[in-house]
Amino acid sequence: MIGADAIRGHIDLILLAILETQPSYAYEISKTITGRSRGEYVIKQTTLYTAVKRLQSQGLLDSYEDASPSGKPRTYYRLTPDGLDQLGVKREEWRSTRALVDHFTEGKDAS
């Protein structure tokens, strides 16, 4: 089970990466995260919606409506060109962060 603090700051990256493959809607994104993490991380509804709105307000995602087989129509989210750019940037940031933490935790010098 992975705690929220550990993930904090990486949620945007995860969402962008998931949406890179194909557009998706909130509920499905949530399932994707749970599934691909094998239940190690389950994103909270509020966290997810907040993050998606934040990304949308930054112009990294846009959305469109589509029918749902049951209940309310869904809001699908997909990457904008800016979102794709940012995904690249955030991937790089992640690699730097990962390298940095690894240096300390594994007791190696910076490389």
Give the nearest distance from C-beta 47 to its own copies in angstroms: 15
Residue position matching structure tokens 């997909």? 78
Return the residues of window 36-65 that contact its own copies according to CB under 8 A. 36-38, 40-41
- 50, 56 in Cβ contact below 8 A? no
67 binds its own copies (CB under 8 A): no
Please, which residues have CB within 8 angstroms of residue 100's CB and are 6 or more apart in sequence?
110
User: Which of its own copies, DNA, none is residue 25 near (CB under 5 to 8 Å by kind)?
Assistant: DNA
Give the binding range for DNA (CB under 7 A) out of 42-50, 78-86, 87-95, 96-104: 42-50
Instruction: Tell whether residue 49 is a contact of DNA (CB under 7 A).
Output: yes
The CA distance from 106 to 46, in Å, is 35
CA distances from 110 to 47, 67, 103 (A): 34, 51, 6
Where does this chain bind DNA (CB under 7 A)?
Answer: 4-5, 7-12, 25-28, 43-47, 49-51, 53-54, 68, 70-72, 74-75
